[in-house]
Amino acid sequence: MSTNEIISYEPSTGEELWRSKVGNVDAAVDRARRAWPAWAAKPLATRIELCRRFANEVRKEATKLAELIAKETGKPMWEAHTEVEAVINKVDISVTAYAERTGQKKLDGALGGTAAVRHKPHGVMVVLGPYNFPAHLPNGHIVPALIAGNVVIFKPSEKTPAVGELLMQCFNKAGISAAVAQFFPGGPDEGKALVAHSGVDGVLFTGSAQAGIAINKRLATNPGKIVALEMGGNNPIVVADTPLVTDAAILIVKSAFTTAGQRCTAARRLIVLDSMYDAVIAEVKRLADRLIVGEPFADPAPFMGPVIDNGAADQLVESFLYFLSNGGKAIKHMQRANDDLPFLSPAIIDTTGIPDRPDVELFGPLLQVIKVGSLDEAIAEANNTRFGLSASLIGGTPQDYSRFWASVRAGIVNWNQPTNGASSKAPFGGLGLSGNHRPAAFYAADYCAYPVASSEIDQPRASVGVGFKEG
């Protein structure tokens, strides 16, 4: 592939879907900087109305966008439709969040004046998107940024640029110019150049910990540039005592294998009390054996499609074999029916006997199982990671959940719910290698505008006090 071109392929067929020349970084930033003052000067009500029109444009293109998401990511159509709905719903959620998180406040001040808190936009924001939710996740940065008065340069993942282009066309058709909401095709080099560009005021990133750490390092000497890092997780799902084994197994399978395991909140590690081990593992395997893996438009609809590309599939197969050769016990083998396409069966492996389990995010349908003797041991194992995005407790008592919630290190902590499927009406983020304490979703408003404190009075009034000679 030419370094001057971005080419997108359909994971389920291997066929070329889209191609484009890469963008010019300096030209894109210059265009955005020139557009920003006029956009920031528009009344908030105007910016909100234009974003609502964007939601209507997405509604018009809902089927086209869902089909494109399915083709470019490989995810089933039912899931692609769910992503499109999330894009539409993000606008109303972001309007509410802006008012609650960054609205204006007036307080009584001295001498009859007022104290005020208002918020200003940062300026030119670069949004770097992931491939697993190529519309919903970047949109979760873009809409709050635009409402706050920023302009946006969106560089989608080089693996899903076609969805990114269509998403930005919806903004442009709604009346938000292509300079204010700008689509930028590019690869890792262009992403690095945008991050480092002096004309960029903020970087909003969703992707791997490795890439996020590189961004953090690159900007370590520039504290003035706002950086929000939404990264991955080595997420635990803990099973305590419960009589509802089938329900527990369904929650585990949904957590581990939805989106072919390509969610940052997917369960990577199943930590099971030994009292529940045999029953839970048997039921999880039974359900996993029933999962339909297939192309996005298949009938009956598949539960999951392929992973994003052959490189990802190769790495996951290698990881499964690594566990197997280092003391892991296969519960359900990872199978690849066609070496030329990245379809993988869901895999489950007991890694209890591996003394030094790698603390990495294996981004696919590979679930590691760890047997423990007590809830305290389970919590310790759950925290045995540098990540800290999502964690779930299945079963147990209210007291057990209180202990779990208080002790587990994660930005999302659930009880009898999957590790994934977080609400956009709540903050979304983690700690450690999962993020830099700038949660997205409802709290995205926080990093899209900065607070300005003011003390105000309509006429200058002052008097001298201690420390002055008599005049």
Q: Which residues have a catalytic role annotated?
A: 230, 264
Per residue, the 3-state secondary structure of 38-74, as one string, reads HHHHCCHHHHHHHHHHHHHHHHHCHHHHHHHHHHHHC
The kind and range of the H/E element at 79 are helix 77-102
User: Quick one: how far is CA 443 from the chain centroid?
Assistant: 13
State how far the Cα of 270 lies from the Cα of 237, in Å rounded to an integer: 5
Nearest-10 crossing angle of helices 161-173, 62-73: 160
Would you state the structure tokens that stand for residue 196, as one six-digit string? Answer: 């480092």
- Phi, psi (5° rounding) for residue 219? -105, 15
Neighbours of 49 (CB within 10 A): 14
| Burial of residue 48 (number of CB atoms within 10 Å: 0-12, 13-18, 19+) | buried
Q: What's the Cα-to-Cα distance from 28 to each of 25, 77, 178, 204, 393, rounded to whole Å?
A: 5, 34, 10, 17, 46
Sequence-distant (6+) residues with CB within 8 A of 406 are none
Nearest-10 crossing angle of helices 161-173, 136-148: 30
Contact 69, 162 (CB under 8 A): no
Neighbours of 129 (CB within 10 A): 28
